[in-house]
């Protein structure tokens, strides 16, 4: 059984430290490392080109690092975070029922707070934000609060399959049309945006970078919400099922499910990802250069990501069931995942952007990945030191304050010493 100290509470409020599920914090911490490995490329190159397969111009350690991230990390960890978000939603909902509290107002404040944080992150810090997408999906998730437990898996799967089917239809249309999808106007607009990124991020001031983030948000981020919001909502629904079914608290009673996720979903996801790479190892999803092979390869990677995310969850659960303690070393980072996620963006932009160290475009793939690992180790040390004195991470504390409309205690109570 996964360690669990959860018990009914008298009133709805921030979850006390003694009632957290350690395995979920560990999984959040591991996912945070994956997010760092995935996002580092986007700090030092055009956002249009990040995550587009394995660059054939690379060799040696750079090619290995690029391939490892694309196959095992790209797209897998933001979906894993979405799964965990759904678990948190279901936990809040069940606690509200136990307390006889009105869940909707608290949850809506929580979602509005996340929306504000996501907007600020995307517009003021870094364009690759995922929090805004999570927040939009979280509003829709409230409508699933009273959905039958057995409907949550089908809802999650259907949402994901609908996006995949839509992209496959677009792939077929491009193949039938026999063109490169898009035109000269698209190519010119994309090249202009790349040039603007290089000017603002590599050499520009903070104000110039912020101006470009606004432009990117309006021209790019909003146009992809139709893909990422339904995908996030689907993972939310599946995560809620794990809590409502008891599968995350008592996995021994669901051993067949976890075995199926470890071997079935995991291997299928890996096979689909590798199949996409065999079709096109560097899918470029920008209009002027888009081909049917690009589209199919990227769609296969997207289709595989939730399968591998679920497998990662199942493997971690299995590791803990067997008595391993090393995953729990990641738990402090998972307890302040929001704070550390924002810190990763701050560190990435200060290292690579012109208003920081100005290394934009100058660091190859292997050092990028190594640097992301070093940053995470430092973050983990920071989290351990922080929780020696405080109950919540700084951003988590502010978010809880806004959510529950009362200030939670931040400092740990002093332990009295013997005279």
pLDDT, one tens digit per residue, over 251-277 is 889 999 999 999 999 999 999 999 999
Q: 137-165 pLDDT, tens per residue?
A: 999 999 898 899 999 999 999 999 999 99
Q: What are the domain boundaries of the chain? A: 17-156+205-265+308-404
Q: Taking 50 as the threshold, does the pLDDT of residue 166 lie above it?
A: yes
Q: In this predicted model, which residue has the larger pLDDT, 52 or 46?
A: 46
Q: What are phi and psi of 390, to 5 degrees?
A: -125, 155
Q: In the prediction, which pLDDT does 290 show?
A: 72
User: Which of the four pLDDT bands, split at 50, 70 and 90, describes residue 282?
Assistant: confident
Whether the Cβ atoms of residue 87 and residue 242 lie closer than 8 Å to each other = yes
Exposure string of 44-68, with b = 16+ CB inside 10 Å and e = fewer, is bbbbbbbbbbbbeebeeebbebbbb
Q: Taking 70 as the threshold, does the pLDDT of residue 40 lie above it?
A: yes
pTM: 0.91
Q: What is the mean pLDDT of the chain?
A: 88
Q: Taking 60 as the threshold, does the pLDDT of residue 418 lie above it?
A: no
CA dist 33 and 139 (Å) reads 27
CA dist 70 and 37 (Å) reads 10
Average pLDDT over residues 29-52: 91
Q: Which of 294, 312, 266, 287 is nearest to 81 (CA)?
A: 312
- Window from 83-87, 88-92, 103-107, 290-294 with minimum mean pLDDT: 290-294
Other C-beta atoms closer than 10 Å to the C-beta of 18 total 8
Q: In the prediction, which pLDDT does 186 show?
A: 64
User: Which of the four pLDDT bands, split at 50, 70 and 90, describes residue 11?
Assistant: very low
Enter the tokens of residue 365: 């793939």
What is the percent of the chain with per-residue pLDDT over 90, rounded to a whole number?
70
User: Which of the four pLDDT bands, split at 50, 70 and 90, describes residue 179?
Assistant: low
User: Which of the four pLDDT bands, split at 50, 70 and 90, describes residue 54?
Assistant: confident
Enter the tokens of residue 274: 């590798």
Q: How many Cα atoms sit within 13 Å of 146 on the Cβ side?
A: 4
CA dist 282 and 163 (Å) reads 21
């Amino acid at each position: 059984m996964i360690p669990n100290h959860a018990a009914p509470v008298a009133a709805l409020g921030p979850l006390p430290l003694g009632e957290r599920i350690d395995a979920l914090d560990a999984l959040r911490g591991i996912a945070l490392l994956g997010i760092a490995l995935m996002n580092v490329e986007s700090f030092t190159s055009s956002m249009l080109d990040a995550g587009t397969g394995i660059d054939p111009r690379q060799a040696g350690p750079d090619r290995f690092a690029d391939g490892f991230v694309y196959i095992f990390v790209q797209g897998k960890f933001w979906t894993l975070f979405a799964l965990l978000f759904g678990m948190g939603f279901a936990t809040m909902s069940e606690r509200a029922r136990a307390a006889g509290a009105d869940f909707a107002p608290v949850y809506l404040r929580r979602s509005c707070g996340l929306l504000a944080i996501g907007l600020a992150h995307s517009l003021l810090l870094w364009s690759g934000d995922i929090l805004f997408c999570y927040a939009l999906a979280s509003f829709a998730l409230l409508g699933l609060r009273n959905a039958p437990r057995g409907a949550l898996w089908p809802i999650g799967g259907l949402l994901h399959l609908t996006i995949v089917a839509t992209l496959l239809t677009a792939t077929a249309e491009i193949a039938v049309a026999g063109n490169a999808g898009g035109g000269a106007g698209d190519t010119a607009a994309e090249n202009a945006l790349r040039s603007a990124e290089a000017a603002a991020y590599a050499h520009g001031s903070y104000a110039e970078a912020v101006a470009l983030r606004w432009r990117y948000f309006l021209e790019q981020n909003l146009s992809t919400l139709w893909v990422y919001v339904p995908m996030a909502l689907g993972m939310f629904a599946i995560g809620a099922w794990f809590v409502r079914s008891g599968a995350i608290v008592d996995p021994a009673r669901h051993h067949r499910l976890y075995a199926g996720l470890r071997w079935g979903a995991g291997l299928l996801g890996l096979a689909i990802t590798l199949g996409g790479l065999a079709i096109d190892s560097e899918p470029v999803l920008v209009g002027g250069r888009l081909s049917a092979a690009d589209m199919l390869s990227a769609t296969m990677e997207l289709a595989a990501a939730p399968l591998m995310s679920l497998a990662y969850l199942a493997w971690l659960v299995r590791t803990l069931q067997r008595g391993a303690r090393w995953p729990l070393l990641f738990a402090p980072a998972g307890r302040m995942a929001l704070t550390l996620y924002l810190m990763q963006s701050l560190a990435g932009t200060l290292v690579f952007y012109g208003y920081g160290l100005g290394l934009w475009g100058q660091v190859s793939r292997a050092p990028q990945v190594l640097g992301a690992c070093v940053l995470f180790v430092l973050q983990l040390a920071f989290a351990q030191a922080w929780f020696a004195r405080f109950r919540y991470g700084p951003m988590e504390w502010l978010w809880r304050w806004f959510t529950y409309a009362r200030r939670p205690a931040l400092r740990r109570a002093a332990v009295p010493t013997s005279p």
